[in-house]
Each structure stands twice: as structure tokens, then as C-alpha cells.
Amino acid sequence: MKNLTKTIALVLCATGVQAQQGCPTDADLGRGITLHFGDGASETYTAVADATTQVDGKFNGALSYRLLIAQGTHLLSYVEVVDGAEDPASQQVYDYGLAPSQLPVPVAGERFNANVTVAASDGARQEPQLQAYVEGPELVVGTCRYATIDALIAYDTENNYMETIRYIPELALGFMLWNQSDQDARLPDTTIIELTVAP
């Protein structure tokens, strides 16, 4: 997780919010929903399997990393993309001991503890984590409005890595709002300036 600069992805849950005309919904994940961020980066979220979403992250228009996310907040794999090809040496695979569909969807007021096994090119390690879910602020992008849930995630790592994933139930995905560690100070929160759906 320490290599991630943002991110990470929405499964529909009952929110009582009606679909907004012209605004993306979780039904668009099959084609791909792109979040355009204020710093010029973007992430495209595409449903690839039950409860699993692929995230393609771009910087300056170039594909830079690829993720697999379960239920919006649970990172299943991370790999860097160099010159259009995945770099096997950079890949990290996360095993929660549960199938993706069995991992929890964020619900405000709930918590999830996991002793995650991380497999990387230099071997495997244990990485316990605690996820706490709280109600987030309304997300407004243009004329689209979405309720959110913030997943605060603390990792039992040497550098005390922490992050918050802002989960959007109506889109069934979540993006990295901020992260920090003993070595890296928290940067300003990630902002979304546009949402688009692949044709």
C-alpha cells in the first residue's frame, strides 16, 4: 500500500438516494467510470468479477498502475505499469482469507479487522489492518450529488501507514482521499472535478 499515491474503489448498497438524470451509477461500472482528479490524474473503475473492480490509474494521460479492489475498499492487488506493460516485480497481492464477495461493504458505524497476507517479489509478509467506517460529506461533482462513507484504514506497519478511502455507495466504488506515514506527511485531500462513463 505504501506505493500507492491515491486511490483505491463502489458496490451498490441501500442509500435511499434516487438515480440522478445524467449522472453515473453503479450500473455504469460494466463500461467503466472515470474519476478525473484536481491534480490532473485519473482513475477508471471497471467491474471485472463478482464484487471486484479493476482500477487503471493514469498520470499525465499515461497508464501508471493497475489495482483490483473488492467491495470498494479492500485492495486485492497492485502493480505498476511501465511503457504500457505491467511490471511483475512491482506486483503485490493481498489475501484477506475471504473471497472478495465475502468481504464487507462499508456501512457507517461498522468496523472490519483483518490479518492480511501480502505476497510480493521479495516474499510474503503479514499486514494486519483495521478499517473503521464513518459517514462522509456529500460529494458534489457538477450537477451530481452522492452520499459517501469514509473508510479510515490503519495498517500495522513499521512506518505506521494510514489512509482514508472515500466510498460512494451509489457508484459502488471508492477512491483514496488521503494517506500518510511516519515518512510521508499527509497531503491535501484528493478532489474530483469530473465523472465520465466510457461509451
pLDDT tens profile 54-72: 999 999 999 999 999 999 9
Most distant pair of Cα atoms in the chain: their distance: 48
Range of the domain at 117: 26-197
Q: Which residue has the cell 465523472?
A: 195
Does residue 15 carry a pLDDT above 60?
A: no
Cα separation, 25 vs 80, in Å, equals 28
Residue 182 within a domain: yes
Residue 4 within a domain: no
Give me the number of domains the chain comprises.
1
Residue 137 within a domain: yes
Residues 170 and 26: beta-carbon distance below 8 Å: yes
Cα separation, 148 vs 97, in Å, equals 27
Nearest to 193, CA basis, from 27, 36, 20? 36
Does residue 17 carry a pLDDT above 60?
A: no
pLDDT of residue 19: 58
Residue 20 within a domain: no
Residue 8 within a domain: no
Nearest to 42, CA basis, from 168, 195, 150? 195
Sign of CA dihedral 184, 169, 66, 115: positive
Residue 16 within a domain: no
Residue 75 within a domain: yes
Cross-strand partners of 144: 141
Q: Spell out where 50-172 has E strands.
A: 52-59, 62-70, 74-82, 85-86, 92-95, 111-120, 123-135, 139-141, 144-146, 149-155, 162-168
Residue 1 within a domain: no
Amino acid sitting at position 144: C
pLDDT digits (tens, 9 = 90+) for 66-113: 999 999 999 999 999 999 999 999 999 999 999 999 999 999 999 999
> Where does the pLDDT of residue 9 fall: very low under 50, low under 70, confident under 90, or very high at 90 and above?
very low
